[in-house]
Amino acid sequence: MKRWLRRSLELREEEKAFHERLPDHLKKILGGKRLLLWKEILQDLGYPDVSVVDDMISGFALTGWAPTTGIFRPDVRKPSLSVKQLVNMSPGLNASVLESILRTEPGEHDQFVWDETLSEVSKGWLGESDEFGECFIARRFPVPRKSKIRLVDDFSVAGVNAAFGLREKLRVQAVDELCAYLASMLDDTSNADLPGLVGRTYDLRSAYKQFGTDPWHAERLRIAVKRPAGGYGVFSALALPFGASGSVVHFLRISASLTFIGVTALLLAWTSFFDDFTCICCSEEEKNVSFYIESLFRLLGVDFADSGVKAVPFTQRFKTLGVLFDVSSLQSGSFTLEHTESRRCELLETLQDLINRGGAAPKELERLHGRLIWFGSFIYGRMLNRLVKDVSNMARVRGKLLTFNEGFLDVLHRLMAAVQDSKPVAIGRSMCHTCIIFIDGAYEPDSKQPATFGAVLVAPSGTPKCLVSRLQPLF
């Protein structure tokens, strides 16, 4: 860190001159970021995707093919539209988007969305635009959350997402990586040698908006916003929009580079999930670790939450991605994770509201389905699967408003009971010494062998040890 600090001073004038040569819209968006230092650090550490800094400098492309980075495994997903096809289709797509805005009834969040849009213009994230020409117009809409309203720019309706291809399969570090790290500590260390751990999550402010689009896309990407008094305004997308597939890809590259620097050079034990960086450390190292993490962000010019509700201290019970980790019993050989009480209550309120109304739009059930999958992902077993599948099936029923029958109301009641009764998941040494049996079966009444099943025995190391298959009819 001392060497980087010295180097940042040596590069100060060069960084300043370099920023002056950036495209106009990127000068403000990338202001304060030490791009030359960032690239130099990645080169020194042998990072495979040093070009991520070059793309920050030139701005990111949201159509065409994503670059091959070497940090994700190969997996091609071709774009369904070429850029030329997108250009040819854009007049019709744009007309459809603008017409849909004019047909939309006034909403309770229209004023908030408009005010936030003008705020983004003042910050340089959006540009005012009266000329259309060759452009691709997305529609901005609000997604209400319990504590805030998130603005989403739908670039699918503009065809932009269909014109973006991947050569690699994206991967994020989530709860599993943190659990695996803690479990390996339990497996490799005796209780007497286990440290007292604490953890916390660092959150980047307006993460996507800290990076910009390239000049070609800045001139063509547009976002249409409904005016509270009627009509619409159209704005240029200068910063990475939330709702474009390319934004996800490029930000994951940025996030991965920060994680790599922390792990490789600063020896941090942390994981990253988009803009959330979760770190654990020994309790006596808390101040030291905080200093290096915050110094890294400030040194590179990455804006993070250093005050307010997201700037929490290191504790033995810490939250990440809506899950609460408790490592207070680690020295006794286990730790637990569970959903936060606010997440549980929010889900219960949603289920109760649906029961009281006796019906809902399919979109509401789609959102509920996603939340239930996330909630159930930390409950071992398949108890919720049948109920969640019933929600998914109901969400696919056609109609603007669906009326629930007694059977589906019973599903909602049973889901409420399951959410209410869910217990923390305890992970201890026994899990590292547990054999697991995976079973599956099939029933095909028209075949000669209508019912079959099989099982695989997996050793604690993760190696399959035994395969059992029963092919004869069971009945």
Percent of the chain with pLDDT over 70: 96
pLDDT at 278 over 50: yes
- Do both 439 and 412 map to the same domain? no
pLDDT band at 441 (very low <50, low <70, confident <90, very high): confident
**What is the extent of the structural domain holding 170?**
1-315
Least confident span in 3-7, 96-100, 279-283, 327-331 = 327-331
Identify the pLDDT of residue 281: 94
3-state SS assignment for residue 305: coil
On whether both 157 and 293 belong to a single domain, the answer is yes
Reduced 3-state DSSP string for 119-139: HHHHCCCEEECCCCCCCEEEE
31 domain residue, yes or no? yes
Answer yes or no: do 247 and 349 share one domain: no
149's CB contacts (< 8 A; 6+ apart) are 109, 112, 113, 142, 143
Q: Which residue has the higher pLDDT, 272 or 442?
A: 272
If asked whether residues 466 and 403 sit together in one domain, one would say: no
What b/e string do you get for 84-122 counting C-beta neighbours within 10 Å, with b at 16 or more?
eebbebbeebbeebbeebeeeeeeebbeebbebbeebbe
List the beta bridge partners of residue 469.
454
Give mean pLDDT, residues 298-313. 92
**Low-confidence winner among 35-44, 319-328, 424-433 (lowest mean pLDDT):** 424-433
CA dihedral 19, 21, 22, 28 (to 10 degrees): 50
Mean pLDDT for 146-162 is 90
Q: What is the pLDDT of residue 296?
A: 97
- Is residue 86, in this structure, part of any structural domain at all? yes
Q: Is 73 contained in some domain? A: yes
Residue 475 CA to residue 473 CA, distance in Å, equals: 6
Instruction: From 299, 315, 331, give the residue that closes a domain.
Output: 315
Name the amino acid, one letter, at 8: S
Q: Are the CB atoms for 103 and 196 separated by under 8 Å?
A: no
Q: Of 102, 108, 107, 111, give the one whose Cα is nearest residue 224.
A: 102
The mean per-residue pLDDT over the stretch 234-246 comes to 95
Within-domain flag for 322:
no
Residues 293 and 348 in one domain: no
Which of the four pLDDT bands, split at 50, 70 and 90, describes residue 436? confident
Paired tokens of 21: 């040569």
For residue 430, the model assigns a pLDDT of: 67
The average pLDDT across 354-373 equals 89
Counted domains in the chain = 3
Q: Which residues contact 77 (CB under 8 A, 6 or more apart)?
A: 165, 166
Confirm whether 173 is domain-assigned. Answer: yes
- 12 lies in some domain: yes
Same domain, 311 and 376: no
pLDDT digits (tens, 9 = 90+) for 74-131: 999 999 999 999 999 999 999 999 999 999 888 889 999 999 999 999 999 999 887 6
84 and 233 together in one domain: yes
Q: Where are the beta strands (DSSP E) in 186-330?
A: 197-203, 221-226, 232-237, 269-273, 276-282, 317-320, 323-326
- For 63-83, b where at least 16 C-beta lie within 10 A, e where not — what string? bbebbebebbeeeeeebebeb
Residue 323 lies in a domain: no
Please state the rounded mean pLDDT for residues 388-393: 89
Nearest to 166 by CA among 292, 273, 250, 43: 250
Tell me: do 29 and 151 sit in the same domain.
yes
7-16: Cβ within 8 A, 24+ apart: 7/37, 7/40, 8/34, 8/37, 8/299, 11/36, 11/37, 11/40
Q: Quick one: pLDDT at residue 473?
A: 41
pTM of the model: 0.84
* Predicted local confidence at residue 126, as pLDDT: 96
The answer to which of 11-15, 55-59, 401-405 has the lowest mean pLDDT is: 401-405
- Amino acid making up residue 114: W
**48: CATH:** 3.10.10.10
Does residue 333 sit within a domain?
A: no
Percent of the chain predicted with pLDDT > 90: 62
Judge if 199 and 263 occupy the same domain: yes
Same domain, 463 and 390: no
pLDDT at 191 over 80: no
At residue 141, what are phi and psi to the nearest 5 degrees?
Answer: -145, 155
User: 356 and 277 in one domain?
Assistant: no
- Starting at the earlier edge strand, list the strands of the sheet with 232-237: 126-128, 232-237, 221-226, 136-144, 149-154
**pLDDT tens by residue, 210-226:** 999 999 999 999 999 99
pLDDT reading at 346 higher than 90: no
Q: Please report where in the chains the tokens 């941090």 appear, as a residue.
A: 268
Same domain, 178 and 310: yes
